[in-house]
Amino acid sequence: MTLKSAETWYEATAPARDAAPPPRGVIAADVCVIGGGLAGLTTAMEVQRRGRIAVLLEAKRIAWGASGRNGGFVGNGFALGVEDIIEKVGLKNAQALYRLSAHGTEYVRREVTRLDQTLRMSDGVIVAQRVNDPSGSRRYVEMMLRDFSEGLELLSTEQTRMLLKTERYFQGIKNPHSFLIHPLRYAQALADDARHRGVLIHENTPALDVRKEKRNFIVRTAQAEIHAPHVVHCVSSLDRRINRTIGRAILPIATYVAVTEPLDQDAIRTRCGVGDMRRAGDYYRLISDKRILWGGRITTRVSEPARLAQMLKRDMLSVYPQLGDPKIDYAWSGLMGYALHKMPLIGRTADGQWFATAFGGHGLNTTAMAGILMARAIADGDDEYRRFAAFAPKWVGGPFGRIGVQASYWHMQLRDVLDERADRKKRE
């Protein structure tokens, strides 16, 4: 399969920008943020808003990692589902965590509106059921309203199939408050605004190591040293050596996106984002020029774009065979960071280094939430970040951890298929 370009659709539709040059010499700051994805950018922005001097170091370009290449779905919650969070920390704590995640969503909504309204591409996300279970869906919607004040809409099978022309789906659960953005342009706009406000941003600048000297941390780069009493690690799974405690607790998980050529199609009749309710589900949406952006699958090794374009196309056609043989113009992978418990890692190491990372596949709201928590902790002494203490960093088990994740994904896929089969049998 020949792709139109090796770049992502987001890169192809974002303006070209000059890179911010690396630093030289010794620089004093209040906070040094390592990593220029959305976690690092929001932290630096919020620290600066509270009157502190922030330096941000990015190894490549702003949002080069997951932040600039994701699905663009923004909505409340975490990579770990609410039922599992309740099981782990109880209902009250789960509600407090969910409220924090909602602050993150609100933050992105507000910033997008303030920076450039066109960053928000459409509204609403529908989670489509692969198994016919109207009472289960209703119970979920009622629980989310009662326990989390989340007003979801239940769509009948008929209503769902009006919007999504496939017999694969039954009920749909719509969150009208979720929305869809152009994540790369959002991160770039946030970076430009942060720089304008005084954040010192340096691209093509990997942090090489961090050491403590009296009251300061010293972050070394190829040609500079940043001296600051606070350092915040926001590198996700892309550098597992810069801080051993966090590096050992985060697994790199690759996931994939493909974008079709512009299509005249009648299968997807909504601008809402769509996710399917399976344990290992797909997600997709219509983007400009009538293209379909289709995401899904996870692996613990990065597959090459042409092969993954084929895989994703097969997934897409298994839901919408009527699309025929659409050409895939763009396909790319991205690395997410996951802790074994699937919740973000937010806190401080024994020697006082901050970390805000491991947002998994639900990072657009939670990176914003974490940036606010970090800035409040550093500038105001606020300790709300401690709510994440129940989800502390734990060793993920090196290569065995990776094998475990891949095996559990295949296991989830298998259970999805078996559940669908059982449901089909029941209806026959």
Ligand X SMILES: Cc1cc2nc3c(=O)[nH]c(=O)nc-3n(C[C@H](O)[C@H](O)[C@H](O)COP(=O)(O)OP(=O)(O)OC[C@H]3O[C@@H](n4cnc5c(N)ncnc54)[C@H](O)[C@@H]3O)c2cc1C
Binding site for ligand X (CB under 6 A): 34-40, 57-60, 64-67, 69-73, 206-207, 234-236, 238-239, 242, 255, 257, 295, 334, 336, 357, 359-364, 367
Output the six-digit token pair for 263. 């299509």
Distance in Å, CB of 359 to ligand X, minimum = 3
Q: Which is nearer to ligand X, 326 or 360 (CB)?
A: 360
Q: Which helix (H) or strand (E) holds 115?
A: helix 82-115
Q: Which is nearer to ligand X, 65 or 305 (CB)?
A: 65
Q: Which is nearer to ligand X, 68 or 172 (CB)?
A: 68
Q: Which is nearer to ligand X, 42 or 171 (CB)?
A: 42
Distance in Å, CB of 271 to ligand X, minimum = 15
d(CA 70, CA 240): 21
Distance in Å, CB of 180 to ligand X, minimum = 8
d(CA 396, CA 402): 8
Distance in Å, CB of 65 to ligand X, minimum = 2
Residue 99 makes CB contacts below 8 A (sequence gap 6+) with none
231, 250, 254: which is closest to 344 by C-alpha?
250
Output the six-digit token pair for 139. 């119970």
Q: Which is nearer to ligand X, 38 or 339 (CB)?
A: 38
Distance in Å, CB of 333 to ligand X, minimum = 7
Q: What are phi and psi of 406, to 5 degrees?
A: -60, -45
Q: For residue 53, with 0-12 CB atoms within 10 Å meaning exposed, 13-18 middle and 19 or more buried, which class applies?
A: middle
CA atoms within 13 Å, Cβ hemisphere of 64? 17
Q: Which residue is nearest to ligand X (CB)?
A: 363
H helices of 165-229, in order, are 183-197
Q: Which is nearer to ligand X, 216 or 333 (CB)?
A: 333
Distance in Å, CB of 426 to ligand X, minimum = 32
Residue 20 to residues 185, 198, 208, 375, Cα–Cα distance (Å):
16, 13, 18, 23
